């Protein structure tokens, strides 16, 4: 059997160079055309109503594909030699270039259409008359905040503290307030709510005669001093007493009507034989989502002078421990376990 000679096709260097040059020019033209249409789309978007923006801008981008062929012809690119694959490649390159730059131009520093976002925590939710209520506002914006004000018996600037805007107010009864935030591009957002002040938000009751180590002192706290008293099994309100300058945590005893009832006894450290000064208090704690900053406020009751007789067990027990709410990240356990698994594999 005779060996047949295998002939390779001749390489047409000139045709290859022309094809590659045409592809490069086509890609550059598609890219630049996509950028130009993205710029035009950005201005069209800014002047359209929100209900028709997306469909009209998308239709404009798709309709502009017809001009791409004209531009290629104007650049003296032989479109007659284009295969279906080349046309699809050019159109896809144009479309994704338009989409990428359009999204880029729709965000700061090129464009800002969104007003600031306002999250507010009022601590405590109800306060003793003429005591301070703290209004904490987390105000965010993709371009930047120019100013934050609160309209509460007049317009006031809010002070910046640890990433929050804060305003303190003391009053009598109920009063409405409005927070107004303005970003650097003039977009405004507002938030409205109420502050509440009452008598007897927190108070104590006990026997009138001299107490001993087992005598129960009841601390009454209005339930709506906080929107939530617990979250995920941890306390958002800590009820305690300041006895002779020392804090002693109270323990839950029950509830009656609008009040939760807590208790302490003179057996805890801080108490002494004879006359004692005691002030019931409640600390209201709040963490905004994703923030490690503890926000808190104290509700203070009147001071009481309490006589305690010696029975050998006065002021000997440590203050009860209370598990308070703390910062928790926004990650879910599933994501944390996935991250751990990846780390182990790597």
| Cα Rg of the chain, angstroms | 35
The label of the residue with tokens 């700061």 reads: 108
The answer to whether 149 touches 157, Cβ cutoff 8 Å, is yes
Distances in whole angstroms, Cα of residue 345 to Cα of each of 183, 333, 335, 339, 342? 46, 18, 15, 10, 5
Domain 117-197: state its class. Answer: mainly beta
**Distance, CA of 166 to CA of 137 (rounded, Å):** 6
**Distance, CA of 261 to CA of 179 (rounded, Å):** 35
Predicted local confidence at residue 341, as pLDDT: 35
Domain 200-308: state its class. Answer: mainly beta
Mode of pairing for the β-strands spanning 188-198 and 127-128 = parallel
Predicted local confidence at residue 12, as pLDDT: 58
**Distance, CA of 191 to CA of 337 (rounded, Å):** 38
Predicted local confidence at residue 99, as pLDDT: 94
Locate CATH 2.60.40.10 in the chain: 117-197
Distances in whole angstroms, Cα of residue 146 to Cα of each of 106, 149, 182, 185? 20, 10, 6, 8
Question: Block means of pLDDT (10 residues each) for the chain, length 346 residues?
Answer: 60 69 86 93 85 90 90 82 84 93 84 86 96 96 90 93 94 95 91 96 91 96 92 87 97 96 97 96 93 94 95 94 68 39 34
Alpha helices in 107-262 (DSSP H): none
Strand partners, 255: 260
pTM of the model: 0.70
């Amino acid at each position: 059997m005779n060996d047949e000679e295998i002939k390779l096709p001749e390489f047409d260097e000139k045709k290859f160079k022309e094809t590659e040059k045409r592809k490069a020019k086509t890609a550059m033209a598609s890219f630049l055309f996509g950028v130009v249409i993205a710029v035009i789309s950005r201005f069209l978007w800014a002047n359209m109503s929100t209900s028709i923006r997306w469909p009209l801008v998308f239709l404009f981008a798709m309709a502009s594909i017809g001009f791409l062929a004209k531009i290629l012809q104007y650049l003296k690119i032989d479109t007659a030699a284009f295969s279906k694959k080349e046309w699809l490649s050019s159109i896809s390159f144009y479309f994704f270039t338009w989409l990428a730059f359009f999204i880029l131009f729709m965000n700061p520093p090129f464009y800002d259409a969104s007003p600031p976002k306002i999250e507010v925590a009022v601590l405590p939710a109800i306060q003793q008359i003429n005591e301070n209520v703290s209004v904490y506002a987390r105000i965010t914006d993709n371009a930047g905040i120019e100013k934050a004000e609160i309209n509460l018996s007049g317009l006031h600037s809010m002070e910046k503290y640890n990433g929050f805007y804060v305003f303190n107010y003391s009053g009598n009864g109920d009063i409405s307030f409005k927070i107004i935030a303005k970003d650097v591009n003039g977009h405004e957002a507002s938030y409205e709510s109420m502050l509440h002040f009452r008598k007897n938000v927190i108070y104590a009751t006990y026997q009138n005669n001299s107490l001993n180590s087992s005598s129960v002192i009841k601390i009454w706290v209005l339930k709506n001093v906080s929107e939530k008293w617990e979250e995920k099994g941890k306390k958002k309100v800590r009820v305690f007493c300041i006895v002779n300058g020392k804090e002693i945590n109270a323990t839950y005893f029950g509830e009656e009507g609008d009040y939760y009832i807590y208790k302490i006894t003179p057996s805890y450290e801080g108490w002494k034989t004879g006359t004692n000064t005691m002030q019931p208090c409640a600390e209201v704690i709040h963490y905004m989502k994703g923030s490690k900053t503890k926000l808190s406020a104290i509700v203070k009751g009147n001071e009481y002078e309490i006589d305690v007789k010696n029975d050998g067990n006065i002021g000997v027990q440590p203050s009860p421990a209370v598990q308070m709410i703390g910062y928790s990240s926004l990650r879910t356990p599933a994501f944390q376990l996935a991250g751990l698994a990846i780390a182990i594999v790597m």
